[in-house]
Structure 1
Amino acid sequence: MTVARKILQQQAVVPSWGGRLDTLVENKLTLTHEVAELNLYETFQRAQLVELEFNSPVLTSMLTGKKVMHIDNLKPFEYLPGESLVLPANKLMKIDFPEATVQTPTRCIALTISGDFIQQTVNHLNEEYPRSEPNDQWKVDVNNYHFHNGLEISLLIDKIIRLYRENNVMKPFFIHNSIQELIVRLMQTQARRVLVDQAKQHVNTHRLAYVVEYIRKNLTKTLAIEELSNQACLSKSHFFRLFKNELGMSPIQFILQERIRLAKQILSNPAKSITDACFESGFNSLTHFSSAFRTLERISPRQYKQQVS
């Protein structure tokens, strides 16, 4: 520890989260709430196989730097900013920090959530917002679930960090509601993975998976809600509500997302132009295409093509 403190003095390491810095590896600031505990981690030197384990279900999320995760018998995998990992209670993680330095620390959070609170939220969702298929139930998959954060989850994580650190008499109330929303967003993200990423496997058993595949096969056509609800054998209002509940977005938003995904594939082809990408992905206006692309991807179609060409 004497050596570590000498290094700290020479390089003037200041923890981003505040408080005293006791070690260069896995510095932690813990903030508590009645249903969840937020742990903020900051690592300033390379290390290997650092062990970490929590006694409650946990959502970890990377903020800066890179880790390599060793969990059970899974192949070690890189863990990068913008990604999260959900794990059950008492799951041992062994973590490498291949790039952490004083100048470029690795930062992440670990949010442990009461199992009872998770179950209460799941039960409430199943009672008030049942899924489209009678045999499906809302649930949180905590079996080493690794995913890229969507915009909503990224914003929620930022909000939760801010709420835990602010001085506000209503803070417990705000945190409670934000954690509950995070659990619901996680369930929607997990449901979306099945219905979107694995749609072909479920077209014969899940009506929304069937609609997802129908949309993909007809992206260049005008797709009305009435047409899609007919494909799902549901009324327009019931279809719209179920689609938004389970995928976390409206049918129109999903169609737009799929058209932009197709446009990106077309733009990756050096022989194709921006105009080709526009009309071949189902847009009928270059202006609308450019605006939608920039909204979803945060860059213009031209900038994207320059990156991938």
Structure 2
Amino acid sequence: MQLSDKFFKERKLEHLVENQTSYTLNNAAMHVFETHLQAERVMLQFDQPVLASMLIGKKVMHLRDKKAFDFLPGESLILPSNEVMCIDFPEANQDNPTRCLAMAISDEKINKVINLMNEEMPKHDGSEWTLIDYNYHFTNDASIYGIIQRLLYLFTENHPSKDFFVDNMLQELIIRILQGNARETYMENASKLGSHNRLAYVIEYIGAHLHEPISVSDLSKKACMSESHFHKTFKEELGITPIDYINSERIKLAIKLLKDPTRKIKEIYLECGFENRSYFNRLFKRKINVSPGEYQSKFMDGTLH
């Protein structure tokens, strides 16, 4: 993820540990933190909900009720108001600084988006969309990566309408994060929720039958919905179409199986429910940026472990 040239020209590098450059708009503030020196137990806290996203380098995060974990580029973290972060910087130095953005979003903006979601795209089980109230750590998908990159540009741009532009991007960001969190919740708790939640039941079914043909028509019947209503509900709550979700889970399984260099690729793609290799190759490369054969060869030659 890239910072603009304007950022580097205008920032004031006054501290070697968590040097802060801030931009404030009506409903959000973006802070870019840079660390040029190894450090431990650096404390940080915001009085609003925060999206933290790693740009360069590595942090080790210590949060309440959560085991310490590495925070790496391409990953984000949603923190509730007044959450205390305790941070280590094991690798930062002058030539290899750690950079992270922290975007504080006003409660008013978040609640406005949540109310809109409850009005325009209510959950199928009657529950309401609510703000995530715990530390949600995730890998950015392409859409969230694109939004964050766009926000980095907008906050540093001199444009009379940038408050309006940022507000629109924040709305999309909040919706996508809540959908992603809902998807993860269903996946982690499918067996517990499946008896009383139709989408959780479908998620559990997909996970158990990846090796078999799965159609949206069959899934809609299991959810006791029409096909069109099921497709709409699935996409609105989970932020992804049923077919894209199935393919994503199949590729995850393929990644796991390809780590065994003795397995044949044909055997793997059939086990993952793909009917032909060209379609499997295309989806795999789109997600991993290398072909299945290239990925497996890295385990054969010991490049990956």
Give the structure-2-normalised TM-score: 0.91
Residues 66, 78 of structure 1: 8 Å contact kept: yes
The equivalent residue for 1:108 is 100
DSSP 3-state at the match of 1:39? strand
The offset of 1:74, in angstroms, is 3.8
Give the gaps of 5 or more residues in structure 2: 1-6, 301-305
Tell me which of 81, 103, 114 is aligned to 2:73.
Answer: 81
Residues 69, 93 of structure 1: 8 Å contact kept: yes
Give the count of matched residue pairs: 294
The equivalent residue for 2:285 is 294
The equivalent residue for 2:125 is 133
The equivalent residue for 1:58 is 50
- Residue identity in the other structure for 1:85: L
Residues 31, 101 of structure 2: 8 Å contact kept: yes
Q: CA deviation digits over 1:168-198, x for unaligned, max 9?
A: 3332111001111111111111101111233
Distance 1:285 1:239 in 2: 27
Tell me which of 120, 133, 138 is aligned to 1:142.
Answer: 133
The offset of 1:142, in angstroms, is 3.1
Q: CA deviation digits over 1:215-254, x for unaligned, max 9?
A: 2333233322221110000111110011001111101111
The equivalent residue for 1:210 is 201
The equivalent residue for 2:303 is none
- Residue identity in the other structure for 2:241: S
The offset of 1:17, in angstroms, is 6.7
Task: Give 1 or 2 for the bigger CA radius of gyration.
Answer: 1
Residues 211, 272 of structure 2: 8 Å contact kept: yes
Distance 1:17 1:113 in 2: 26
Call closer, same or farther: CA 1:70–1:215 in 2, change over 3 Å: closer
Q: How do 1:126-205 and structure 2 match up within 5 A?
A: 126-134=118-126, 136-205=127-196
Distance 1:178 1:263 in 2: 34
Distance 1:18 1:202 in 2: 51
Residues 60, 84 of structure 1: 8 Å contact kept: yes
Q: Give the aligned CA root-mean-square deviation in angstroms.
A: 1.6
Tell me which of 25, 28, 40 is aligned to 1:33.
Answer: 25
Distance 1:185 1:133 in 2: 19
Q: How do 1:242-281 and structure 2 match up within 5 A?
A: 242-281=233-272
Q: Identity rate of aligned residues, in percent?
A: 41
DSSP 3-state at the match of 1:75? strand
Distance 1:70 1:279 in 2: 42
Residues 140, 186 of structure 1: 8 Å contact kept: no
Give the structure-1-normalised TM-score: 0.90
Residues 17, 40 of structure 1: 8 Å contact kept: no
Q: Does 1:224 align with 2:208?
A: no
Call closer, same or farther: CA 1:306–1:73 in 2, change over 3 Å: same
Q: CA deviation digits over 1:14-40, x for unaligned, max 9?
A: x84732211111111111110000001
DSSP 3-state at the match of 2:31? strand
Distance 2:79 2:291 in 1: 37
Distance 1:124 1:165 in 2: 28
DSSP 3-state at the match of 1:95? strand
Distance 2:152 2:122 in 1: 30
Give the gaps of 5 or more residues in structure 1: 1-14
